[in-house]
A and B are shown apart, each in its own frame.
Chain A
């Protein structure tokens, strides 16, 4: 079992729709969770961090964390073609000093 799992996609949504990206993790003691966006040929850039159960909203982005289910998700409202990218889930595991990344979900927003 991978430590951080994501569906590779592609996830295709029409412009204006809500895109829902999911991530599960295996280390129950994990405390810090991050979503990164990576455009093709570019470096990852942080879009959301979440540390406690529940929802955290920032503009069109909402991160959701459920530690009991070991599940973190990212919702993108009013999706735009410019949101088309690969979204990486990253987790800080117990005793780890570096983030562990999932393999990413490729999102395609159709105009």
Chain B
């Protein structure tokens, strides 16, 4: 089982460029999440999708958009990248629509905005 797969693993963008981070899970999970991780700040929730067809803002949504394409896929888009968005991005999924069960993480995308 692949679990949660993210692409790309590494990306360098220039300020103002756009890109989409892709995430897919093969565990038939209902909920999917995007987190960012910065040194000393742990994981912060950007957006989540409790079920197919729904998306909601998390703690740090500004500058990002998301699409829950189907039950398997949840993408994160940066429309105009800024240096403050330099971070490691993790996609995660859980079986519960209430987020009460353990989350499984993808391998992460290391993004640098110059």
The interface residues of chain B lying within 8 Å CB-to-CB of A68 are none
Does chain B have a CB within 8 A of A56? no
Q: How far is the CB of B28 from chain A (nearest CB, A)?
A: 18
CB within 8 Å for A43 and B58 given contacts A32-B101, A88-B42:
no
Considering the complex, give the chain B residue whose CB is closest to the CB of A31. B100
Contact partner, B105, options A32, A45, A92, A97, Cβ 8 Å: A45
> How many residues does chain B have at the interface if contact means C-beta atoms less than 8 Å apart?
26
Choose among B31, B42, B98, B99 the residue that contacts A104 (Cβ–Cβ < 8 A).
B42
Give B100-114 as 1s and 0s: 1 = Cβ < 8 Å from A's Cβ atoms: 111111111000000
CA–CA, A31 to B100, complex, Å?
Answer: 8
**Nearest-neighbor residue (CB-CB) of B58 within chain A:** A98
Interface membership of A14, Cβ < 8 A? no
A29 to B58 alpha-carbon distance, docked (Å):
19
Distance in angstroms from B91 CB to nearest chain A CB is: 9
Residues B34-52 near A (CB distance < 8 A): 35, 40-45, 48, 50
Separation of A88 and B92 alpha carbons in the complex (Å): 15
Tell whether, in the assembled complex, residue B108 and residue A43 are in contact, meaning their CB atoms are under 8 Å apart.
yes
Give B residues with C-beta under 8 Å from A: 31, 33, 35, 40-45, 48, 50, 56, 58, 90, 97-108
Q: Mark A residues whose CB is within 8 Å of B.
A: 4, 8, 31-32, 34, 42-46, 49, 88, 90, 92, 96-104
